């Protein structure tokens, strides 16, 4: 490409994150310290997941216990450590009643280690505010009181901040400070505060504070059980449930050294990259934006003698926009100056890590972290489906880069929407029969009446992450006494990509998944887009109950009660009257048995 054209392009690519970074600094502020005695407030539960953290846990606990002006407990979950982590925590618990040591249960299928540990910790917490703290984060003596004051003042359900990042090795100094640059340069924080859209949710997994009631209502870490990137995912869970989230500058509240070597830095930043910058739909645009705005200006500067005077001015403008946020970060966040000086190199190395992570995922190779393997095909499937005893279709949708959303307009709050009993004399809504093909080309006839009560789940891409939160607990509670069926709404997939999507489903899911290419069932059933829709259907086809959004404890209990009532009514209806012979059972319409070959597919360029 003509260098003159590039010279006029790079200032735009560099100016956007620069302007956003500077604007966000007005919002991303430190939590002010109180100059007077802090009034009593809600007590806090400091929750620390720990796996092989003997080198960090002692200083972390000492820092937490030094906090003043706040009532709190400290709960440490030993996640199957093979070192002296548990012994060190037990030592603290023996001399300070505020500390409790808990042992993590075995990691269930479909869970990643940290979300499971945090979920178990939240269930053991006793206080109304939950502070999720990584085992390598050290709090300032007034951190808890100030974070509590921030929650009360801002009126939010979840807040997070990036601690001051300590660095030692070359890659640490080069890459870790980019956390602030990426967060402040690409997240529109004014929109984050004005709107509750989940797209604006962001945080730092090292330090979260949440209201316990809101955490339990939205499902917390249970809704992101298969992720390694809770910093990105957890705020979105709260926002989808209608709660407000916020960010604060934690530079003077906490410190953290994430990694101790160059190799750990590379592996650590790559382990969850495909859930962030390296996501298939994100990595291309972000590479163009980061390389074009942060690296290319320096390359063009080397060509300055061949550029016109105006083009040379444009390149200098781009360089100024690229370096200004980093230099401000050196001052504001106490970052090493060498990191800012080598900013273009840091961006290149960061992009290399992202592309390597994506390549690893596409080749089916797992990431290994703290002795556990993540991202292996067998784990990905387990994270998206119900237990294997469920032989009926389960809508496990993980093809985020290829699937779209559809359905009727919705607020997508994720709150429960129960089907109210119809007025007297009014018939309940019914599900009409339909036929859908699965990823293997088999056509499933879904019709009524049927012998069992049915729970039908339907989700598009955005709602797919919420499916398992409903399916698995119902399977564990009711087993084969109910029929669970699922539909994947893939109506937004372009025609040329359908063969590719169908093939991806075949590779990832051995069980049948009904694929709704037209979105007909979303419309027919009045489903909300962006969330999972759950319908309880009587054997005759009547919709007894419906809900939409992430599973919560209250929502699950309500659905279980409705299922138990429906099962009781079904048994009563099936019981013969006194003196009458028992009716012969009607053959059950099992989805997996009612299959016919699908019509031949139209040729696709991508098959």
Confidence of residue 513 (pLDDT cuts 50, 70, 90): confident
More confident residue, 379 or 518: 518
pLDDT tops 80 at residue 420: no
Q: Are strands 245-256 and 137-139 parallel, antiparallel or unpaired?
A: antiparallel
Instruction: Summarize the confidence of residues 107-122 as an average pLDDT.
Output: 92
pLDDT on residue 575: 64
pLDDT on residue 514: 87
- Which residues face 102 on adjacent strands? 77
pLDDT tops 60 at residue 458: yes
The lowest-confidence range among 189-193, 227-231, 425-429 is 425-429
pLDDT on residue 476: 86
**Per residue in 345-369, is it b (16+ CB within 10 Å) or e — as a string?**
ebbebbbebbeebbebbeeeebbeb
Phi and psi, residue 226, nearest 5°? -100, 15
Structure tokens, 478: 């009711």
pLDDT tops 80 at residue 196: yes
Residue 317 and residue 8 in contact, taking contact as beta carbons nearer than 8 Å: no
In angstroms, rounded to a whole number, what is the distance separating the alpha carbons of residues 322 and 185?
Answer: 10
* pLDDT tens digits along 542-574: 888 989 888 888 888 999 999 999 898 888 776
More confident residue, 446 or 151: 151
Confidence of residue 422 (pLDDT cuts 50, 70, 90): very low
pLDDT on residue 506: 67
pLDDT tops 90 at residue 120: yes
Cα–Cα distances in angstroms (integers) from residue 263 to residues 170, 275, 367, 498, in the given order: 11, 21, 14, 40
One DSSP character per residue, 504-547 reads: HHHHH-SS--EEESS-HHHHHTTPBTTS-EEEEE-TTSBEEEEE
More confident residue, 461 or 339: 339
Q: Given CA atoms 175, 180, 185, 191 in this order, what sign does their dihedral have? A: positive
- pLDDT more than 90, % of the chain: 49
Q: Are strands 158-165 and 245-256 parallel, antiparallel or unpaired?
A: parallel
pLDDT on residue 586: 38
Confidence of residue 343 (pLDDT cuts 50, 70, 90): very high
Give the three-class secondary structure for 262: helix
What integer best gives the mean pLDDT of the chain?
82
Instruction: Summarize the confidence of residues 463-492 as an average pLDDT.
Output: 86
* pLDDT tens digits along 1-44: 677 788 889 999 999 999 999 999 999 999 988 766 556 789 99
Confidence of residue 463 (pLDDT cuts 50, 70, 90): confident
pLDDT on residue 510: 59
In angstroms, rounded to a whole number, what is the distance separating the alpha carbons of residues 570 and 482?
Answer: 11
Q: In 93-182, where do the E strands start and end? A: 99-103, 129-133, 137-139, 158-165
In angstroms, rounded to a whole number, what is the distance separating the alpha carbons of residues 567 and 77?
Answer: 39
pLDDT tops 60 at residue 498: yes
pLDDT on residue 7: 83
Most confident range, picked from 195-199, 370-374, 385-389: 195-199
Q: At the top level of CATH, which class does the domain 389-575+585-597 belong to?
A: alpha beta
More confident residue, 202 or 480: 202
Q: Domain 41-275 classified CATH 3.90.550.10?
A: yes
Q: Are strands 207-211 and 442-446 parallel, antiparallel or unpaired?
A: unpaired
Structure tokens, 363: 């080749």
pLDDT on residue 377: 41
pLDDT tops 90 at residue 512: no
pLDDT tops 50 at residue 388: no
Do 41-275 and 389-575+585-597 fold alike per CATH? no
CA proximity to 497, closest of 364, 371, 605: 605
Alpha carbon 438 to chain centroid, angstroms:
27
Q: How many CB atoms lie within 10 A of CB 421?
A: 10
pLDDT on residue 199: 87
More confident residue, 429 or 291: 291
pLDDT on residue 328: 97
More confident residue, 511 or 48: 48
Structural domain boundaries of the chain?
41-275, 389-575+585-597
């Amino acid at each position: 490409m003509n260098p003159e054209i590039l010279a006029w392009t790079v200032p735009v690519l560099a100016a956007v994150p620069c302007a956003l970074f500077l604007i966000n600094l007005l919002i991303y502020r430190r939590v002010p310290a109180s100059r007077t005695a802090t009034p009593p407030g809600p007590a806090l539960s400091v929750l620390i997941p720990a796996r092989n953290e003997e080198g960090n846990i002692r200083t972390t606990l000492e820092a937490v216990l030094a906090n003043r002006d706040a009532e709190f407990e400290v709960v440490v979950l030993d996640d199957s450590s093979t070192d002296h982590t548990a012994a060190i925590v037990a030592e603290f618990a023996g001399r300070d009643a505020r500390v409790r040591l808990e042992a993590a249960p075995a990691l269930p299928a479909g869970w990643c280690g940290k979300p499971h540990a945090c979920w178990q910790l939240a269930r053991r917490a006793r206080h109304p505010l939950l502070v999720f703290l990584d085992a390598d984060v050290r709090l300032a003596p007034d951190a808890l009181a100030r974070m509590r004051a921030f929650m009360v003042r801002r009126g939010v359900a979840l807040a997070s901040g990036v601690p001051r990042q300590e660095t030692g090795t070359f890659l640490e100094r080069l890459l870790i400070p980019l956390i602030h640059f990426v967060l402040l340069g690409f997240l529109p924080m004014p929109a984050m505060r004005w709107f509750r859209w989940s797209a604006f949710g962001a945080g730092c997994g090292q330090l979260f504070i949440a209201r316990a009631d809101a955490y339990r209502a939205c499902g917390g870490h249970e809704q992101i059980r298969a992720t390694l990137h809770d910093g990105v995912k957890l705020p979105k869970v709260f926002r989808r449930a209608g709660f407000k989230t916020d960010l604060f500058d934690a530079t003077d509240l906490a410190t953290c050294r994430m990694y101790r070597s160059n190799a750990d830095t590379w592996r650590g930043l790559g382990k969850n990259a495909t859930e962030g910058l390296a996501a298939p739909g994100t990595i291309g645009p972000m590479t163009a934006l980061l390389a074009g705005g942060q690296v290319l200006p320096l390359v063009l500067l080397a060509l300055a003698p061949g550029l016109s005077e105006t083009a040379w001015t444009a390149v200098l403008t781009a360089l100024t926009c690229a370096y200004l946020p980093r230099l401000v970060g050196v001052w504001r966040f106490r970052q090493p100056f060498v990191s800012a000086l080598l900013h273009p190199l840091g961006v290149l190395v960061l992009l290399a890590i992202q592309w390597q992570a994506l390549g690893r995922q596409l080749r089916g190779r797992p990431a290994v972290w703290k002795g556990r393997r993540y991202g292996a095909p067998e784990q990905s499937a387990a994270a998206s489906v119900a237990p294997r005893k469920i032989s009926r279709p389960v809508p496990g949708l993980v093809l985020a880069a290829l699937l779209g959303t559809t359905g009727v307009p919705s607020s997508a709050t994720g709150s429960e929407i129960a089907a109210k009993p119809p007025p007297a004399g009014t018939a309940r809504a019914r599900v009409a029969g339909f036929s859908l093909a699965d990823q293997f080309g088999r056509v499933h006839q879904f019709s009524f009446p049927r012998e069992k009560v049915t729970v039908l789940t339907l989700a598009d891409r955005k709602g797919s992450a919420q499916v398992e939160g409903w399916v698995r607990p119902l399977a564990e509670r009711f087993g084969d006494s109910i029929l669970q069926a699922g539909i994947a709404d893939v109506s937004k997939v372009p025609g040329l990509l359908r063969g590719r999507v169908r093939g991806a489903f075949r590779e990832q899911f051995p069980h049948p998944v009904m694929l709704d290419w037209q979105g007909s069932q979303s419309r027919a059933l009045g489903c909300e887009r962006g969330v999972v829709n759950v319908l309880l259907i009587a054997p005759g086809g009547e919709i007894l109950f419906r809900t939409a959004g992430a599973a919560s404890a209250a929502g699950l209990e309500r659905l279980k009660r409705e299922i138990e009532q429906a099962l009781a009514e079904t048994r009563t209806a099936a019981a013969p009257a006194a003196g009458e012979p028992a009716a012969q059972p009607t053959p059950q319409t099992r989805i997996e048995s009612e299959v016919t070959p699908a019509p031949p597919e139209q040729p696709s360029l991508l098959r």
